[in-house]
């Protein structure tokens, strides 16, 4: 991975970790700053989300700050210029989910364009 690709992956990882932070998730402005306007997600439940519907959940206070998400196996690649694909395992003590997201560079910085979660079962 060249230096520019490594910087892109680092920016996407930083954004991903910010989105997992309960303080960020409680702020509509901070979440909006990180989501692409065309954002879509296929949740671990199979539900399809867009930027508006995901904001309803993230800023509603349904995220427990006492139960932070533990992240492992984080890795990223650059499949095309201006695009980063991240994969990782997220564990919030209730369930383990394999996560995959696409980040794209915009005039406002790196923003999550697509996200998918798939239940991973027990460790």
Over residues 17-45, the pLDDT tens digits come to 999 998 888 889 999 999 999 999 998 88
- Domain of 27, CATH number, reads 3.10.450.50
Work out how many domains the chain is built from and give that number. 1
Q: Check residues 101 and 61 and name the one with the higher pLDDT.
A: 101
User: No. of H helices and E strands in the chain?
Assistant: 4, 6
- What distance, in Å, lies between the first and last C-alpha atoms of the chain? 31
Give the domain range for residue 91.
3-119
Q: Count Cβ atoms below 10 Å from residue 31 Cβ, excluding itself.
A: 21
pTM of the model as a whole:
0.89
CA 95 to chain centre: 16
């Amino acid at each position: 991975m060249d230096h520019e690709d490594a910087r892109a992956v680092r920016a996407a990882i930083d954004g991903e970790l910010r989105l997992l932070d309960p303080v960020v998730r409680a702020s509509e402005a901070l979440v909006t700053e990180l989501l692409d306007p065309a954002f879509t997600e296929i949740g671990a439940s199979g539900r399809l989300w867009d930027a508006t519907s995901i904001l309803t959940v993230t800023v509603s206070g349904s995220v427990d700050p006492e139960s932070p998400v533990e992240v492992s196996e984080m890795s990223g690649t650059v499949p095309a210029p201006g695009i980063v694909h991240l994969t990782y395992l997220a564990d919030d003590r209730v369930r383990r989910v394999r996560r995959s997201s696409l980040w794209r560079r915009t005039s406002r910085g790196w923003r999550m364009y697509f996200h998918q979660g798939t239940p991973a079962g027990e460790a």
